[in-house]
Every structure is written in C-alpha cells, then in structure tokens.
Structure 1
Amino acid sequence: MLYSYQKDVLKKAKPNWLYALDTGTGKTILALHHYLKHNQGEPLLVVQPPAKLREGGWSREIQRVADYYNIEIIYNELSYGKIAKDWHLYKGYFVIFDECHYIKNPTSQRGKAALSLAKISTNFVLLSATPSSNGWIDTINYFLMFGFYKNKTQFMKRHAIYETKFFGNKTVKVVSGWKEQDYLKRLYQSISTKLSKDECLDLPPLVFEDVYFKKSKEYEIVRKNRVLETNEGKIAFDTIMKLQHGLRYYANQKDKLSYTEMLAEGTEENIVIFYYYQQEKENLINLLGKSKTIYEVSGKVNKLPDREEWPNLKNTITLVQYQAGAAGIELQYANVVIFYTPTYSYQDYDQALGRCYRNGQTKKVTVYRYITKNSIEEAVYEALAEKKDFTEELFREYVGGTI
C-alpha cells in the first residue's frame, strides 16, 4: 500500500516520530503503517481536528488498511475539541496526533493535554505539513513531548534572545531571535522527517492565476475616514481589529462576485472557494446556488460529497471557511480553487492549497487568487509569499504607510 518514498521514510523513523510531510503525500497511510510496525498489541488513538473527525477520513483509511492485510485494528478517535477533558481516558494507547500544529502551544489547555497524553501513551506520532510555520516558538511543545526540555521556561531561558520595545509609556520584552540554532536543528532532525510534494509525487501541474481588481469606493472611505455609511447605518472602524476587517471585507466584493460568476458559468469543473466572511458565503450561495450544486464546510455545516460520487461529480461549488476547513479535509474531486479573500495565516493558506492538490488528484489544479491592487490584500499576499503570517505589526506598518 506504500509508495517507495513512504517505505524509505518509515525505515528511518523511530517509534516516537514527527512526520512533517506536505499535504497530499499520504501521511495517514504512512502513520498507520508506523503504528503497525511499532505497536505491541495496544489500541490506537487518533487525535484530530473536529472537521476531520466529522468527515470520517481516518475511519475509512483504518478500515482500508485492515481489509488489505486481513487484520483487526482496535482504535478510538478523539477531537482536539475534547482532548483537554478526555486525555486521561487513553492511558496505554498508541497515539497519532493528526495536524499536530493544533497542539503546538505548550501553555494552552489543548497543548498541555496533548503533552500529558503523550506521556501516558506507549508511543506517539505527530503529523503536519506545517508543524512549525512560525519558527522555533512552534517547536517547544514537540520538544517537551520528546523529553528534551522540562517546560517552556527552560527552553526560553536557554534559547530566546529578547529585546525591549516601547508602546507609549510601557516597555515590553519580545523575542527577537534564538541562540544555539544549530543545536536546535540537530534536535529537530533527530525526531522528524520533512518531505515536499516535489520529492514524493508525480502530480499533475499546479497553476496559479492572480486576478487583480481595482479598489472599491467603500475601501477608500474606510481607509481615509474610518467610518462608512451603509443601509444599516454608520459603521465605525475605531479599533485596529475593526479596521483590519473593514479594509479586507470592503476591498472589492462586487467585482469578486462578478468574476466568480463568470468563472463558474464557463466550466463544469468542480470549484472550491475559500472565504472568510459569512456575508461572502451568503452572496455566493445566492448567486450560484440555482445553477450549481453547493457543498459547504464552515463552523456550523459540514456537507461534502461521498467519495463514491467523486468519479462522476461535476458542476459543483464547495465553499470552505478558512477557520473550519483549511486543514483536515480532502477535496481531490475539485481542480479549480479560488482564494476569494486572503487569510492572514500562512499555515491556513498552505493547508488550504493542499486540500485539492494532493495524492489522488488526476487533473491540473488551477488556483485563482483574488487580489485588489494597492490594498491590504497585496500586503497580505506579500507576507504569505515569504511564508509569514500577516501580523498586527505588519498591519500597523501598512496603515502607517497609507494614511
């Protein structure tokens, strides 16, 4: 069931391991074979994002492996939403942490529960295409799980370089760099395998088409006045967060909607649209719902086609909210991807790219990125191109340069 590159990776891995493999390279099947190789008869626990648990992918793959080898695999599944409450119920399990970037924060309840669960497991596996998208700060909980450090404080005292920043009359120490990075790299390499798609798969092409729009009148009003008159009354953008949302939302909704209608009318290919705002979803459904079959992944809805339907599926639109479906779902039935509004998170962006362009995709995948010229969207995509989040600090720099 394994590709040659998967077999090579499995040979090198130790019982406790981190697989940092690109989305679509078969991490699920690889992790299950890792369990088959290293377990001593104990049951398996798969901890995963809620959306993936609802979708049922792990159950299907476990059954497929069991049927292939004519064996029984005893397992349980646990969502990251319940790990803080239920981790203690799984002592003596072999644990797979899927999309392990969900537990990278060692001070969160979820991160603490994952660390405790790893300690009472027989062995554990960490899976993610982006386990440390923000650098060494994201690796701390992994290092704690592997026993290299006692706690975050010990790690920070040894490796963090601080500088003092001034915010009005207040001073704050922030991390500006890291000490002993060669040592940290050796530690990380001793517990992990990293592979890109290019090293693993012979996939069809991935093509990017950047679609540019002019700024809307509303955008300029929000940018200059921080107040917008709407049918519902005046909206004030008097905080950083409100201004961020205002500029992103009002960049150019009208032209984006029209362009999407044009794309959808010109093809029967299956389309995935990544969006951010609820109103965007409602506008798209109202526009496309009469001529297309609509699927949806959001915080409240998880409606996707059954795999049995994929070979004959056409003329569909799948609307995916970044926060709910950027990770943990498979959408290989679609080969047209639209980034309707950019996400500020490089991790979400990278994960979203891998929903369609992954193992099992047989068609060329075209990615349309909607970018409003001379707007916040250009600044966001510049950060994402450098594999960085678009942070509040970058936003403040943007605002300072345009107002």
Structure 2
Amino acid sequence: MKKEKQEKKILYNFQQAALDKIKNFDNALLAAEMGTGKTLMSIEQSERWNSPALVCLVLKSTVQQWLDELESQTDRRVFNGYKKTKNDGIDAFIACSERKCIVIGYDAYKARCAKKLREYINANSNDVTMICDESSLISNMKSFRTKAVLKSNTAHKILLSGTPHGGRLENLLPTIQILGWPMTKEKFLQKFCDVYEWTNPARPWVTIPIIQGYKNIDELHRGLEQHGTVFLTMDEAGVELPERIEQKIKQKRTADYKKFMKNGIITIGDEEIIGDNSLTKMMRARQLCSIYNPERAAAVEELLLQAGTEPVVVFYNWIAELDILKSICERLKRPVSVVNGQGRDLSAYNTGTPGTVICVQYRAGSMGLNLQSSRICIFFSLPLSFSDFTQAKARVHRIGQNRNCIFYTIICEDSVEEDILYTLAERRDYSEQLFARTYGEIGGVAA
C-alpha cells in the first residue's frame, strides 16, 4: 500500500531569519540548538540552492526519518542508500535523470559499497548539494569518515549540529575547511588554544602539543559567522520550552567497587573483572556502578512504577544494561521499544502503547531522534561525551514538547560516576587521561 504523503511543513519566522543569514554562502554551518528544527531548515536551504542532486549523510538510525521528511518537503525522487533494488539504492539514484536525493549513513558512505556514489558526486560536483547531519561526527581530520566528506567535491555543503565541537574547539578544523576559512591547524592552535608543548624525556627531539584551554572565543565565533555559520539558541529563536527538571538519585558504592579500584581485579560469581590499564579500568569501574550494582536496577524499577502508564525513555551504554532493562520490563509487563546499533524498533512507542519503555543506546539514538511524546528520561549510566549527554536530553525537550520534562540521573556516590557528571556539567568530555590522573593507572594485573 502506498504511504500517504505528509503535509509540507512551513518554516517559523526564526528559521527563515536564520537561513537569510547564510543565503550568500556556498557552504554553511547551522549551529542550532537541539530542537530548533535543523533538519527542516537544511532541506529548505538545499531547495533554495536547487541542485539537481541532493546527498544526505546522516546517522543510520535516522535514515527513515530523513526519507520521510524529504518525501514531504520536496518534489525530488527519494532513494535509500542502503537498498539494492532496481528502483532504490545507489545504482538507481545514479541512473535517475529527475531531481533526486539519496539518504545514507556516514559509515556506509565511506565504505567500498558507496564508491560508485562518491565517484558520481565528484564527476558531477556542480550539480550536487550535500547535507551532513550531526556534523560533530566529522571532527577528526584523520578518520576515514571525515576524509570521505572532505574529498567529496560538491557545489554546496550544509553542516548541521547542536554541538559542533563537542566541547573541544579543535574539533572544528574539518568544519572550518569545508566553510572555506583559510586556517591551518598550527594557526588555529596558536590563535584559539592554550597549548603546552610536551617533550618526551626519552626522545627530546619530539614535542607534542597538549591543549590545556581555549582563548579568543568571541573572535572564533565571528570568524565562523563571516564564513557561513549561523548560531541559533532557543532563546534567540524566541521559543519557550517547558521546564526541565533534573533530579539526581544517589546510591552507595558496592564493596566490590572499592576492592576493584584498589586492586584492579575482582571476581563476581564466575566472572573475573580486570582493569589492566586506565581505559579498561575506567570502563569496568563504570560497569560496577551500573551493571553489577543491584541498587541500580531496583531504582529504575521504582521510577518506572512511579511513571505509571507514561512512556519513559531510558538511555544506556552496554548491551548488558539493555538485558537488565528488558528483564525489568518483562517483570513489570511493560512493552519495550529499542534503539541501538543493531536496529531500531519503535513500534510500541509509535502506536502509543501505555507504559512503553524506550531503551536508547547513546551512540545510536542520542542524535536525530524525536521522542517528545515522552517527558520522562532515566540515565541508567552516563556517557563520557558531553555532546551525547546534551543530545540525549534534547530527544524529549524540544519543539513540540508541551509538558515539563523530568531527567533522572542515577549515580554512585564517591565513584567515577560523580567525576563524570561533574565533568559533563562543565561542558567537557570525560577522558581516559582524567581518569588516570584521578585514580591512577593499573598495570600488570592480567596474567
């Protein structure tokens, strides 16, 4: 059965004003706060440029959402980059002579399977516009994902992000290159970063720049604006969202956690948990606060009972956490929707089934997911990325939400979770270096 075409959306005045600021640029960055409608604005801007072909690079979990938006907002033939049929997919897109667009995930775009698409784009560069959703994903100049985007010659590129640098200004370097701002890495570090040159005592001829802080932020923002960036916050847009209520639920550390942090190794049941370096030790410490802490599951169960029949969004990190959540929902007879790296099933949520619990893995669903039918979020464990944490909250607290939102953060006292939450509150990522500095690095534990 043919799907009914959705009604075309009309831009708000603040969205029109934002696009007017970038109308004279070939490439642009929409650095707009989550919930301001970046997807709609980017599609409208691409239509203004009116290139025959439009390529949208997005999160794999949001492909269908983008396909639906493009179907309703444009008259283009819409293709799914993951399909391989006669009438859909990369080959069908390339063969099509009509106004067209294709939606594909970043990781698929950089892969061998999309080589034809990349070659087509470079051969027809004057006729192609590219939209890069959640452009913070192309922040590492050395990654294959970023290189694939930078090597794609297009007439226009539009980047979308609510957190374009994710708390690290040096992550803007690929964006600066795309915008056409002549700025080398060395000049960027000199002008906008406080850099300490670390010298390896064993190799004194080798120095490594370590960024300790940032400077001249206003000048950086002005430079970005002069090269096609529009910054947009909810306050600037005149959009008043409902109140956001943040509640911390504290739990005690377990004896196992204390023993592990002291020795770097512990046995729970038949499982041996080892932290033989700062990275694995940090991961295991976080898991001891959530997966291996019975109070964590009990707290989530209590919160779900309090929510009654309301839909509740629960963010998690590891599959073992999802297994715990599913077990709780089965015990409470709650329907479950899941968004993670293995797939996306929102059928229970979309049909409005009472009491649905939406389990969302940070990396797969903290960006580009609309869940404003919910107003309650539980963070089963914390992410290390400030961007992921902020984006997760914006899944429910966004345009279209008309009720106060409640965010429950469950943390163990005197643990790595408290340090992570403190660091995220400072709009910074929590890194392996921070952990090692605080807790020390365990070495030589594993046999």
When the two structures are superposed, what TM-score results if normalisation uses the length of structure 1? 0.89
Instruction: Say if 2:304 is the partner of 1:264.
Output: yes
Q: Deviations over 1:135-173 (max 9, x none)?
A: 331111111112223764675577666423367746652
Distance 2:216 2:265 in 1: 49
Distance 2:55 2:101 in 1: 6
Tell me the CA shift for residue 61 of structure 1: 1.2
Find the partner of 1:297 among 333, 339, 354.
339
Instruction: Say if 2:172 is the partner of 1:139.
Output: yes
In structure 2, relative to structure 1, the CA distance for the partners of 1:396 and 1:184 (3 Å cut) is same
| Letter in structure 1 aligned against 2:225 | Q
Distance 1:28 1:278 in 2: 30
Instruction: Say if 2:48 is the partner of 1:11.
Output: no
Which residue of the partner structure matches residue 109 of structure 2? Answer: 83
Identity of aligned residues (%): 25
In structure 2, relative to structure 1, the CA distance for the partners of 1:183 and 1:335 (3 Å cut) is closer
Q: Deviations over 1:288-334 (max 9, x none)?
A: 1241110111111311138863xx44211111111221112221222
Instruction: Say if 2:385 is the partner of 1:345.
Output: yes
Contact 2:30–2:161 under 8 Å retained in 1: yes
| Letter in structure 2 aligned against 1:79 | G
Contact 1:335–1:364 under 8 Å retained in 2: yes
Find the partner of 2:151 among 100, 107, 116.
116
Distance 1:240 1:163 in 2: 23
Q: Deviations over 1:234-258 (max 9, x none)?
A: 3322211221012111125211110
Which residue of the partner structure matches residue 92 of structure 2? Answer: none
Which residue of the partner structure matches residue 233 of structure 2? Answer: 196
In structure 2, relative to structure 1, the CA distance for the partners of 1:307 and 1:9 (3 Å cut) is farther
Find the partner of 2:142 among 107, 123, 132.
107
Instruction: Say if 2:159 is the partner of 1:126.
Output: yes
Contact 2:273–2:284 under 8 Å retained in 1: no
Distance 2:99 2:350 in 1: 24
In structure 2, relative to structure 1, the CA distance for the partners of 1:306 and 1:18 (3 Å cut) is farther
Which residue of the partner structure matches residue 320 of structure 1? Answer: 360
Find the partner of 2:285 among 231, 247, 258.
247
Q: The residue matched to 2:145 in structure 1 has which SS?
A: helix
Which residue of the partner structure matches residue 283 of structure 1? Answer: 324
Q: The residue matched to 2:107 in structure 1 has which SS?
A: coil
Q: Deviations over 1:193-228 (max 9, x none)?
A: 112223332222211111111111111111112111
Q: The residue matched to 1:338 in structure 2 has which SS?
A: strand
Distance 1:104 1:147 in 2: 16
Which residue of the partner structure matches residue 61 of structure 1? Answer: 69
Distance 1:25 1:167 in 2: 46
Instruction: Say if 2:89 is the partner of 1:51.
Output: no
Q: Which moved more, 1:391-400 or 1:92-101?
A: 391-400
Distance 2:347 2:154 in 1: 35
| Letter in structure 1 aligned against 2:120 | L
Q: The residue matched to 1:81 in structure 2 has which SS?
A: helix
Structure 1 stretches lacking a partner, 5+ long: none
Computed over aligned residues only, the root mean square deviation of the Cα atoms, in angstroms, reads: 2.4
When the two structures are superposed, what TM-score results if normalisation uses the length of structure 2? 0.81
Distance 2:304 2:193 in 1: 50
Paired residues in the alignment total 390
In structure 2, relative to structure 1, the CA distance for the partners of 1:283 and 1:180 (3 Å cut) is closer
